[in-house]
Structure 1
Amino acid sequence: MYFVDRSVAVIKPKAPFLAWLNAVPDNDMIELSLDALRADCTVILLPEFDEPEEAISHIDEMYDKLFRIELSSWYEDEALWPQDRSLKAFWEWFDVEVHSTLLDTVDADIMNSPVDVDED
């Protein structure tokens, strides 16, 4: 087991995200509950930080990409996305849990690949 020189953040959808999902036209999904939506969330690696506020500032800098990732994981058609994707809207739509300790329990190299989300 190894300490990793990163922090983590868990991006958890809130009620406005759920309302958007359930209001998408021609939505053929079963109606989700907020608990179900928050049960399996996106986790991102962050730089190590001394204060939680530093992690929040880092998220503020990349909120647009995170917002896009969350929306595109449900619908790739940007015409279905909400018009207001401001920083304020991000924090209204998502809770963010920040954790300062990350342990790697796998004795193998981490494989990664870039996330492809178009930016305006």
Structure 2
Amino acid sequence: MSAEDIRLTLNRSAIVVKPKQPFLDWLHAADSTSSDLTLQELVLEPAIYLIPECDTPEEVAAVLHELCEEIFVEQLAGWFNDTTTWPPNRSFDVFCRWFDYQHHSMLIDLCDEPLIREWD
């Protein structure tokens, strides 16, 4: 492998977000068509969010305090769009009760294609 073959490390961290039982309980109450869905099925395809670079758990917590409502809303909307069913309190504490998250600080781009943003 030559220096030209070394892949780029992205200047981002990632958060993998997986719903927990309170999310599933909300979904079952909000959407009767989801009544057969299990937590094991729900977490099979977790969402991954790119966030600013974080090196410590404290930095991750600080970023999540700022972004948790946006992530919360995206998770809710991804399953049921009726906002009247959404919990009004989407604070960091509630986020932590409704979701597990895992931080990843090393993101390496192995693709040759340029990144394309949805709005590009």
Query: TM-score, normalization: structure 1?
Result: 0.85
Query: Where does the alignment leave 5 or more consecutive residues of structure 1 unmatched?
Result: 115-120
Structure 1 residue 30: Cα displacement? 4.9
Asked if the contact 2:18/2:46 (under 8 Å) is kept, the reply is: yes
Structure 2 SS opposite 1:98: strand
For residues 91-110 of structure 1, what are the structure 2 equivalents within 5 Å? 91-110=96-115
Instruction: Quote the Cα distance in structure 2 between the aligned partners of 1:38 and 1:104.
Output: 24
Instruction: Quote the Cα distance in structure 1 between the aligned partners of 2:13 and 2:91.
Output: 25
Specify the structure having the higher radius of gyration (Cα).
2
Going from structure 1 to structure 2, the CA distance change for 1:45 and 1:31 (only over 3 Å counts) comes to same
Cα root mean square deviation, aligned: 1.5
Q: Does 2:4 correspond to 1:4?
A: no
Query: Where does the alignment leave 5 or more consecutive residues of structure 2 unmatched?
Result: 1-6
Q: Once the two structures are aligned, what percentage of the paired residues are identical?
A: 35
* 4+ residue runs over 6 A deviation: none
Instruction: Quote the Cα distance in structure 2 between the aligned partners of 1:68 and 1:11.
Output: 13
Query: TM-score, normalization: structure 2?
Result: 0.85
